[in-house]
Amino acid sequence: MEKSSFPLHVGIIMDGNGRWAKKRGLPRPAGHSAGAAVFKKIVRYSSSIGIRYLTIYAFSTENWKRPVEEVGALIKLFKQYLQDALRDFLNENIKVCFLGDTSAFPQDLQNLISETEEVSKNKTGMVLNIALNYGSRAEIVRAVRLLAQEVKSGKLEPDAIEEADIEKYLYTSGQPDPDLIIRPSGENRISNFLLWQSAYSEYVVMDILWPDFKPKDLDWALEEYARRNRRFGGV
């Protein structure tokens, strides 16, 4: 694929873990465990083929509505993943960042999140954004509140507010907007993911559940993206 047609930033909405488990007569947490294994594989593959920014939607602000047992299993899975990452994954040249209000999680998970970001902050390879307790509307509200503080303190005039001022307070500040967003599972929804950042993103919806997603499926999505003609509102 030509460099000019290769996305700089890819977002993935991991979806279909529960349905994958149900189809096999397994409890929903089994689907999340299978999805976590795919997550690790796709992250490594994305790094190896030259994707510079990868944002993975792992747990939304709405996911707290799920059964308590399922939420507990997900939090346990996040802890296990970060423990594994601190032992193995961070030997790779990948910088890990977290998007979302992680203060809602148990303290031991918060500590693991902080440690993961700290030990990887000087990595120069792919930036991996993991969206945990993330909702794009909440992210925009947070940005507006922080911007309002600037206005209140007299640092900024309301009439002088521009898009860049809002972007400065988004979790992805300093990063390029996603060129491509992939949604496995066949669902045709944005699901409160990167609403501001995805204004001109190309979407590829795939009728495949996340635990069945393979590197070849990512390749197909990249090829589909390369066939698109991105006009950004122009002709």
| 8 Å CB contact between 133 and 99 | no
Sheet strands side by side (includes 202-206): 94-99, 126-134, 53-60, 9-13, 180-184, 202-206
**Active-site residue among 17, 63, 93, 129?**
63
What tokens does 57 get?
Answer: 């939607």
**Active-site residue among 15, 17, 179, 217?**
15
| 8 Å CB contact between 18 and 71 | no
Distance in Å from the first CA to the final CA of the chain: 24
**Cα 180 to Cα 222: distance, rounded to the nearest angstrom:** 8
Active site residue 15: yes
At 128, give phi and psi (nearest 5°).
-105, 115
Residues with a catalytic annotation lie at: 15, 63
